Amino acid sequence: MGSTNYPSSIFDSVEFSPYDDAFKVLAAFASDPHPDKVSLGAGVYRDDNAQPWTLSSVKKAIPLLPDNHDYLPFGGFPPYLEVSRELLFGDLIRELGDRLCTIQTVSGTGACHVGAVFLVNTIKPRTAWISDPSWVNHSVIWECAGPTVHRKFYPYYDSGSRSLDFSGMIGKLENEAEKGDVVILQACAHNPTGLDPSKSQWSQIADVCEAKGLLDNYDSQGFASGDPDEDAWAVRHFASRSSLEIGFAQSFSKNFGLYGERVGAFHLLTRNSSLKPAIQSQLVRIMRSEVSSSPSFGCRIVATVLSDDRLREQWQGDLKTMSARIRSMREALYAELQRLGTPGDWGHIVSQVSELTILQT
């Protein structure tokens, strides 16, 4: 057969972009006809029937929502913005005051992208530093938001010891990062390694960022332990250092089970409170150009749960249920590998933490 001739197009130069590994796993799962298949691709908490679990607190909140499908303000739903700030920063919120800008986004991915676009448009960083390995979307987000920004990687995972390569991380940032560079950090339940710095190590990272004049861009407040305050320690430690200016991406997908509702927020902390009106206006401008008004259903659920004492207490119980079950599943896997005499050291399965993330997406 002869070759098919297609007419020329102004898009002839467009190259195929390979799909990332996460997409490939999901596609393979969808096409596999096996009745007992199990998906290990998407970070979704599932029950014993492999179905996403609707949190009991969420079930109780939904009937309380108003029958209102009007547009939200461009900056987001005010009650949601208030509880998202309080959850992320706790009692520190009173000290941060007008130095903190917040805007609702389309989940944590949208928050990461809004933050990247804002930084590219304003401080124009030369380099964005990303952990090696990291969530696959971090590099893509910066590639799309700032094609001229160099994407460099700092060591994070030591495959030999299956542990955090902290000395490599600190050494790379101390020796090669330059003033004005952006450093992307994951606050809790690092994706994909499950390895987090200790509190002492987080303090050392903050020291380096202060000394080098680096801007930290946090991806998420993770929930691994079931204790929101404990898991937000790194975020609050950095925010308590008044010399640091920081971006925070936040997501309510996994810790509320609202994966498809895309509930997120981006927070920017600056040293100078007088800059808030200008910064807030630029964040609104970016969101206006991208989605105009964020979705309202999921954010109203979050606001309802977190502003009601009984529902919030139940939600915290839901978090503990999920985190405890994930730990028990890890322990069961480790025990079975030991029972079978599987070659190798599998201790990292129980020493790593699993992700119930607020800031990823």
Q: Which of the following is catalytic: 181, 216, 254, 318?
A: 254
- Total Cβ atoms within 10 A of residue 203: 14
The question of whether 308 is a catalytic residue gets the answer no
Question: pLDDT value at position 360?
Answer: 30
The question of whether 233 is a catalytic residue gets the answer no
The question of whether 124 is a catalytic residue gets the answer no
- Total Cβ atoms within 10 A of residue 29: 15
Local structure of residue 226 (DSSP, 8 states): S
Query: 359 near 222, Cβ under 8 Å?
Result: yes
Q: What is the pTM of this model?
A: 0.87
- Is residue 133 reached through a cis peptide bond, with omega within 30 degrees of 0 on the bond before it? yes
Give the 3-state secondary structure of residue 340: coil
- Total Cβ atoms within 10 A of residue 93: 16
Question: pLDDT value at position 174?
Answer: 93
Which residues are within 8 A (CB) of 361 and not within 5 positions of it... i.e. 6 or more apart? 107, 108, 109, 111, 112, 135, 137, 219, 220, 249, 251, 253, 264
Question: pLDDT value at position 176?
Answer: 94
pLDDT along the chain (361 residues), means of 10: 73 86 80 82 76 89 92 92 92 90 93 94 93 88 91 91 90 93 88 86 94 85 68 89 90 87 94 92 93 92 95 90 83 85 81 46 27
Query: 240 near 272, Cβ under 8 Å?
Result: no
Question: pLDDT value at position 359?
Answer: 31
Local structure of residue 222 (DSSP, 8 states): B
Beta bridge partners of 186: 219
Q: Which of the following is catalytic: 181, 219, 231, 318?
A: 219
